[in-house]
């Protein structure tokens, strides 16, 4: 029998990812371990870097909308909306109520879809397979609705500067309402599988605690910030696209651990359903694009084919891009992952001079070196799952 | 206190501070050396407690000052934004003081700006590339960097020497958005996923 002093106590280095099922994409964690305790963690990001900001400087404003799909590809509709609102702020454009309502509706459906994946993936990371299967079934129903609305399940590219790609198809709003009715019982049933599950609570409670001060200092946003007790939600505090018209509550955590982050997401799904139902029951009529936005939003197709003025306008819009005045604007939207910000520097014309994407996942991951230290390797999985990041957005 | 009052106080306290044109939030431009003190004042006295974003702008090779660093602060209590900017004093070796001591979250933002623009941050604890790999020779968001990119060795020299792999970038025919004019030889233009020098008919060369 050897005494503890004889053991080799050398630290071990462990590289987790970039192809690891719980690093949710291509995050790589370079860790230093003392036994099974993490003593140092260095996240290595950038494996999915595509240079979106460089690309944006080389194309017109509308051409960049499809690239926003590929940021947080779990919630492309919310990204589409955040981007066009930033450009519209620069143009000083106000959207009519129907356009705002459709945007909010799609963004909230995207939030439901994103949080369903976040919860399902966290559950699967800590060993609860079943929840994932239920939430993915519901996401599939949402994807059918997205496909009907935009023509694509994933890469929706639904918004345009000054409006939308098209109006909602007939009967779609009713189908969204029907989805909500059947969805809520299933949601509660699937959450019941883990909320009071002993294994799940043991794996997540007290794990990855982020204090209120740290959350603010590292620039955390979204559910991760609110789980740490900061009631900041840009939908309430800086309302955009008519969010002030809807009633909803902001859940706030008390401990800031992985379990709190799970609870916040669960409650946000319920609140999103509340917002969706308010829109469905009171869906505004009227125009779904800014009618006064000449040189910015494309004219109607039937007019393009019959009227010279509209034909020229359409030609100029396609070749030169929407004409955006010079200026600097920064807009953050409350996306499922946190505050997605766009900083746009325009010198006038159809192409931005500089477009910076403030990616919530990038900021949320920057706290990993702090929060992983002292955790067990198996806890790192629960921390990563509860932070709910997307590398497409982090790496841009 | 509102963000507009904060800019007024900053202008009285820092002689070099001037208003900056903005389409939305109050904005103030400061000399680079005043940035840490000014941001500390905004954080502690005006409750701008969150560094939302930190980035830079390249105004083109012809412009001087060429680089501007931009900070966006958000107050989690009053929910106001404020934009603070600083021009880099040197165009050839741009650098501003780091604010990592005020917000640890600035660490990654400053690494990204260094990675993309080559702007240094004096006092940063660990200023290395973050999105591109260590040893990458260019700064991609500078205006002289072409959209199609510049061929660079795809891994660092130590890995290349050890694995003996010579990586060849995929053919881009002039750039990601450039269609090749003239004759269209799709076979040669497309990256080939499979080595066609051997198949069922021809044996694999030794």
Instruction: Look up the CATH number of the domain holding residue A329.
Output: 1.10.645.10
The sheet that has A37-44: what strands, in order across it?
Answer: A12-16, A28-34, A37-44
Q: Which of A325, A330, A356 has its CB closest to that of B81?
A: A330
Does the CA dihedral B147-A352-A233-A216 come out positive or negative? positive
Question: Quick one: which H or E segment has residue B82?
Answer: strand B81-87
> Residue A89: its chain B contacts at CB < 8 A?
23-24
Residue A7 lies in a domain: no
Total domains in the fold of chain B: 2
In this complex, is the C-beta atom of B159 within 8 Å of any C-beta atom belonging to chain A?
A: no
Q: How confident is the model at residue B46 (pLDDT cuts 50, 70, 90)?
A: confident
B106 and B162 inside one domain: no
> Residue B142: its chain A contacts at CB < 8 A?
none
pLDDT attached to residue B202: 63
Residue A203 lies in a domain: yes
CB pairs < 8 Å spanning A and B: 104
Q: Which domain holds residue B191?
A: 146-197
Indicate left, alpha or beta for A240 from its phi (over 0: left) and psi (-120 to 50: alpha): beta
Q: Give A334's strand partners.
A: A339
Residue A367 lies in a domain: yes
Residue A2 lies in a domain: no
The sheet that has B67-74: what strands, in order across it?
Answer: B18-19, B27-31, B81-87, B67-74, B50-58
In this complex, is the C-beta atom of B175 within 8 Å of any C-beta atom belonging to chain A?
A: no
Residue B206 lies in a domain: no
Asked if A55 and B83 come within 8 Å (Cβ–Cβ), the reply is: no
Please tell me the distance from the alpha carbon of residue A60 to that of residue A18, in angstroms, as a whole number.
Answer: 33
Token readout for A386 is 């509860």
In this complex, is the C-beta atom of B123 within 8 Å of any C-beta atom belonging to chain A?
A: no
Using the predicted structure, report yes or no on whether residue B200 has a pLDDT greater than 80.
no
Please tell me the distance from the alpha carbon of residue B71 to that of residue B206, in angstroms, as a whole number.
Answer: 59
Q: Which domain holds residue A152?
A: 12-395
B95 and B183 inside one domain: no
Please tell me the distance from the alpha carbon of residue B102 to that of residue B121, in angstroms, as a whole number.
Answer: 14
> Residue B58: its chain A contacts at CB < 8 A?
354
Q: Which of B52, B79, B129 has its CB closest to that of A358?
A: B52
B116 and B165 inside one domain: no
Residue B31 lies in a domain: yes
Q: How confident is the model at residue B176 (pLDDT cuts 50, 70, 90)?
A: low
Asked if B72 and A362 come within 8 Å (Cβ–Cβ), the reply is: no
Q: Give A356's strand partners.
A: A343
Does the CA dihedral A16-A17-A22-A27 come out positive or negative? positive
> Residue B83: its chain A contacts at CB < 8 A?
328, 330
**How close B106 comes to chain A (CA, Å)?**
7
Task: Tell me which of B93, B114, B137 is where a domain ends.
Answer: B137
Residue B63 lies in a domain: yes
Residue A227 lies in a domain: yes
CATH number at residue B29: 3.30.460.80
SS (H, E, C) chain A: CCCHHHCCCCCEEEEECCCCHHHCCCCEEEEEEECCEEEEEEEECCCCCCCHHHHHCCCCCHHHHHHHHCCCCCCHHHHHHHHHHHHHHHHCCCCCHHHHHHHHHHHHHHHHHHHHHHHHHHHHHCCCHHHHHHHHHHHHHHHHHHHHHHCCCCCCCCEECCEECCCCCCCHHHHHHHHHHHHHHHHHHHHHHHHCCHHHHHHHCCCCCCCHHHHHHCCCCCHHHHHCCCCCCHHHHCCCCCHHHCCCCCCCCCCCCHHHHHHHHHHHHHHHHHHHHHHHHCCCCCCCCCCCCCCCCCCCHHHHCCCHHHHHHHHHHHHHCCCECCEEEEEEEEECCEEEEEEEEECCECCCCEEEEECHHHHHHCCHHHHCCCCEHHHHHHHHHHHCCCHHHHHC
**Which of A13-17, B84-88, B119-123 is the least confident region?**
A13-17
Q: Which of B20, B74, B103 has its CB closest to that of A217?
A: B103
Segments of chain A with pLDDT less than 70: 1-8
Residue A6 lies in a domain: no
Residue B176 lies in a domain: yes
Q: How confident is the model at residue B168 (pLDDT cuts 50, 70, 90)?
A: low
pLDDT attached to residue B194: 43
pTM: 0.85
| Percent of chain B surpassing pLDDT 70 | 74
Mean pLDDT (whole number) for B89-94: 88
Residue A1 lies in a domain: no
Residue A4 lies in a domain: no
Cis before B65? omega within 30: yes
Residue B193 lies in a domain: yes
Q: Please name the residue that has the structure tokens 């040197």.
A: B90
Using the predicted structure, report yes or no on whether residue B167 has a pLDDT greater than 80.
no
Asked if B24 and A343 come within 8 Å (Cβ–Cβ), the reply is: no
Residue B205 lies in a domain: no
B126 and B151 inside one domain: no
> Residue A327: its chain B contacts at CB < 8 A?
21-23
Interface of B with A in 10-39 (CB under 8 A): 20-25, 27
**How close A26 comes to chain B (CA, Å)?**
12
Q: Which of A219, A230, A327 has its CB closest to that of B52?
A: A219
A59: nearest CA in chain B? B177
Asked if A345 and B131 come within 8 Å (Cβ–Cβ), the reply is: no
Q: How confident is the model at residue B192 (pLDDT cuts 50, 70, 90)?
A: very low
Total domains in the fold of chain A: 1
Asked if A366 and B108 come within 8 Å (Cβ–Cβ), the reply is: yes
Using the predicted structure, report yes or no on whether residue B173 has a pLDDT greater than 80.
no
pLDDT attached to residue B17: 84
Residue B203 lies in a domain: no
B118 and B158 inside one domain: no
Q: Which of B79, B105, B140 has its CB closest to that of A54?
A: B140
Please tell me the distance from the alpha carbon of residue A326 to that of residue A91, in angstroms, as a whole number.
Answer: 9
pLDDT attached to residue B204: 61
B31 and B89 inside one domain: yes
Residue B202 lies in a domain: no
Task: Tell me which of B137, B154, B188 is where a domain ends.
Answer: B137
Mean pLDDT (whole number) for B157-182: 57
């Amino acid at each position: 029998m050897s005494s503890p002093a004889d053991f080799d106590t050398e630290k071990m280095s462990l590289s987790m990812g970039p192809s690891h099922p719980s690093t949710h994409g291509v995050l790589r964690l370079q860790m230093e371990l003392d036994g099974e305790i993490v003593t140092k963690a260095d996240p290595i990001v950038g494996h999915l870097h595509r240079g979106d900001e460089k690309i944006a400087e080389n194309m017109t404003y509308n051409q960049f909308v499809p690239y926003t799909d590929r940021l947080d590809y779990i919630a492309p509709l919310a990204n589409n909306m955040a981007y066009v609102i930033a450009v519209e702020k620069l143009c000083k454009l106000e959207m009519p109520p129907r356009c705002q309502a459709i945007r909010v509706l799609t963004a909230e459906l995207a939030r439901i879809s994103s949080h369903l994946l976040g919860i399902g993936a966290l559950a699967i990371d800590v060993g609860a397979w079943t929840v994932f299967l239920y939430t993915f079934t519901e996401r599939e129903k949402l994807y059918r609705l997205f496909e009907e609305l935009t023509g694509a399940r994933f890469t929706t590219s639904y918004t345009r500067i000054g409006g939308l790609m098209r109006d909602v198809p007939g009967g779609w709003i009713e189908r969204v309402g029907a989805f909500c009715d059947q969805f809520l019982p299933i949601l509660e049933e699937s959450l019941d599988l883990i909320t009071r599950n002993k294994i799940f609570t043991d794996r997540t409670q007290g794990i990855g605690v982020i204090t209120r001060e740290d959350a603010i200092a590292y620039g955390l946003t979204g559910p991760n910030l609110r789980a740490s007790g900061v009631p900041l939600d840009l939908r309430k505090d800086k309302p955009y696209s008519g969010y002030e018209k809807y009633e909803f509550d902001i859940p706030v955590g008390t401990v800031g651990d992985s379990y709190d982050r799970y609870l916040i997401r669960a409650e946000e799904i319920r609140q999103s359903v509340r917002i969706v139902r308010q829109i469905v029951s009171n869906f505004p009529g009227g125009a779904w694009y800014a009618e006064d936005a000449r040189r910015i939003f494309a004219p109607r197709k039937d007019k393009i084919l019959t009227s010279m003025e509209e034909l020229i306008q359409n030609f100029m819009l396609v070749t030169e891009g929407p004409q955006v005045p010079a200026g600097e604007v920064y807009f953050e939207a409350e996306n499922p992952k946190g505050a997605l910000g766009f900083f746009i520097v325009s010198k006038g014309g159809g192409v931005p001079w500089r477009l910076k994407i403030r990616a919530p996942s990038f900021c949320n991951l920057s706290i990993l070196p702090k929060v992983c230290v002292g955790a067990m390797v198996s806890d790192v999985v629960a921390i990563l799952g509860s932070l709910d990041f997307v590398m497409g957005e982090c790496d841009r | 206190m509102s963000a507009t009052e904060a800019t007024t106080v900053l202008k009285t306290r820092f002689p070099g501070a001037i208003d900056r044109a903005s389409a939305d939030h109050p904005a103030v431009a400061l000399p680079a050396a005043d940035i840490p003190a000014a941001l500390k004042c905004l954080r502690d006295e005006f409750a701008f407690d969150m560094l939302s974003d930190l980035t830079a702008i390249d105004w083109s090779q012809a412009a001087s000052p060429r680089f501007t660093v931009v900070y966006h602060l958000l107050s989690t209590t009053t929910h106001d934004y404020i934009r603070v900017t600083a021009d880099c004093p040197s165009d050839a070796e741009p650098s501003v003081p780091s604010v990592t001591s005020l917000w640890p979250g600035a660490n990654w933002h400053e690494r990204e700006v260094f990675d993309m623009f080559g702007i240094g941050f004096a006092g940063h604890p660990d200023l290395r590339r973050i999105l591109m790999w260590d040893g990458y020779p260019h700064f991609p968001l500078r205006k002289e960097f072409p959209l199609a990119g510049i061929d660079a060795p795809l891994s660092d020299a130590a890995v290349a020497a050890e694995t003996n792999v010579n990586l060849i970038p995929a053919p881009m025919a002039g750039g990601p958005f450039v269609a090749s004019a003239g004759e269209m030889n799709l076979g040669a233009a497309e990256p080939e996923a499979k080595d066609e020098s051997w198949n069922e008919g021809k044996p694999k060369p030794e």
